[in-house]
Amino acid sequence: MKTVIILIFCFAILVLVRCQSRKKVDYELPEAMLPHVKTFFTGQCDKGKILYDLNCAGCHNTRVKGKQIIPDFNPEQLTGYTLRVQNAQHEKNMPDTLVTEEELGIIMTFLVYKKKNSVK
Ligand code: HEC
C-alpha cells in the first residue's frame, strides 16, 4: 500500500515539474522575478499568445517546414509600436475596436517575453 502512495506522489511531482518546465521553454522571464510575479506574467503571456494568433499572426508569422514562426521583434520595435499603432496606416487593419489598448499591451508582454527563435 505504501509503495502505491509513493508511486502516486512521484507521478504527481513529475506532472508538476513537466508543466513548469514547459512554461519556461515558451517564455523567458527574468531570473530575478518573484514567483508570484512570474505566475502573473506567464498568465499574461498565455493570453497574449492567443490575442497575437488572432490579430497579428496572419501578417507577421512565417512558415518554416510547416511550422509557424513568430518573429523576434527587438525592444525598440516593441516600444515604438504602441505609439505607432495609433497614427500609422497599419492601424487601418487593427482599429481600437478590434484590438483594444489593453489587449495590445498584453500582446506586447507576450512578444517581449516569448522565447527567441534564435536561441533554440
Ligand atoms: C494587415 C497586416 C498586419 C497586421 C494584422 C499586423 N501587422 Fe504589424 N506590421 C505589418 C507590416 C506590413 C509591418 C511593417 C511596417 C513597417 O515596418 O513600416 C508591421 C510592423 C510591425 C512591427 C514593427 C514596428 C516597427 O516600428 O518597426 C511590430 C512590432 C508589429 N508590426 C506588431 C504587430 C502586432 C503586435 C500586431 C497585432 C496586434 C500586428 N503587428 C498586426 C502588418 C501587419
Tell whether pTM > 0.85: no
Amino acid identity of 39? T
Return d(Cα 93, Cα 58) in angstroms, integer: 11
Answer yes or no: are the C-beta atoms of 98 and 51 closer than 8 Å. Answer: no
Q: Closest ligand 1 atom to the C-alpha of 104?
A: 38
- Among residues 23, 40, 65, 85, the alpha carbon closest in space to that of 73 is found at 85
Signed CA dihedral, 89, 92, 97, 99: sign only: negative
Q: Whose CA is nearest to atom 41 of ligand 1?
A: 56
Task: Tell which wins on pLDDT, 86 or 66.
Answer: 66
Does the beta carbon of 61 lie inside 6 Å of ligand 1? no
- Going from the Cα of 48 to the center of ligand 1, the distance in angstroms, rounded, reads 15
Mutational pocket test of ligand 1: of 60, 78, 79, the residue with most ligand atoms within 8 Å of the beta carbon:
60
Per-residue model confidence as pLDDT tens digits over 73-93: 998 889 888 777 776 667 677
